[in-house]
Amino acid sequence: MEENTVINLQGVKLYQRNMLVLSDVTFCMSQGQFVYLVGKTGTGKSTLLQTLYGEIPVAAGEASVAGYDLQNLQRKDIPFLRRKLGIVFQDFQLLHDRSVNDNLYFVLKATGWKDKKLISERMEQVLDMVGLKTKGFKMPHELSGGEQQRVVIARALLNDPELILADEPTGNLDPETSEGIMRLLFEISKTGTAILMATHDYSLFRKFPSNIIKCEDGKVNTGEYMFY
């Protein structure tokens, strides 16, 4: 396995409630790579994402994410794995009773940050990266949907992750806002963070072509789909 490999799955079987969802899952992702995860509802996209962040155990095969062997992952190791990952959800999952800064502060404290000066600097850095440097004092309901998703991406970047798992991050956004989020995610991938993004929006491939992983008929197919 190459040194810059972030995901390495070889012959993996994935189950949900004792039902085989995907078999012989084999693919790799490297630092800075952007990959789409596609497939109809119920084909295993969510199961695959949940496996990558340690929610579902690997039943068979070899699997490593950000240096962690998922086959032998202990429950006590899951928080440390997740510190190397950033997770972006479709429905934002922000804490609505606190400001943007307090949402970020909560995550940093929960992941072991103690120095208030460093915490403040990191929050400012990630908000600047997503174009929200002046919005830290705002409450989530005071932001547009696109701005809330940018806060979620900022939150995912706090611990300088090796990999971002994005589950339908543009699903609740209008086309113009979606394009802004896509440009941001591609910019982030160029800094070296790998991004695996589940989506149903095939129009994104034409505007932002990249590699694709497709879940279909209990299998995973990989390839480079370029649209013009």
> Do 196 and 164 contact (CB within 8 A), yes or no?
yes
Q: Measured at the alpha carbon of residue 32, what is the angle toward residues 30 and 35, in degrees to the nearest 5?
A: 75
Q: Is the per-residue pLDDT at 3 higher than 60? A: yes
pLDDT at position 202 over 90: no
Tens-place pLDDT, residues 132-169? 999 999 999 999 999 999 999 999 999 999 999 999 99
d(CA 205, CA 202): 6
Q: How far apart are CA 60 and CA 82, in angstroms?
A: 21
Cα 86 from Cα 209, distance rounded (Å): 22
Q: What is the mean pLDDT of residues 208-220?
A: 91
pLDDT score at 227: 39
The phi, psi pair for 62, rounded to 5°, reads -110, 135
State pTM to two decimals: 0.91
* pLDDT bucket at 221, cuts 50 / 70 / 90: confident
Please give the DSSP secondary-structure letter assigned to residue 209.
-
Mean pLDDT of the chain: 91
Other CB atoms within a 10 A radius of the CB of residue 181 amount to: 22
What 3-state DSSP class applies to 145?
helix
Q: What phi, psi does 139 have (nearest 5°)?
A: -85, 150
Once rounded to an integer, what is the mean pLDDT over residues 70-97? 89
Tens digits of per-residue pLDDT, 32-78?
Answer: 999 999 998 888 898 999 999 999 999 889 999 999 999 999 999 99
pLDDT band at 226 (very low <50, low <70, confident <90, very high): very low
Residues 6+ apart with CB under 8 A from 183: 208
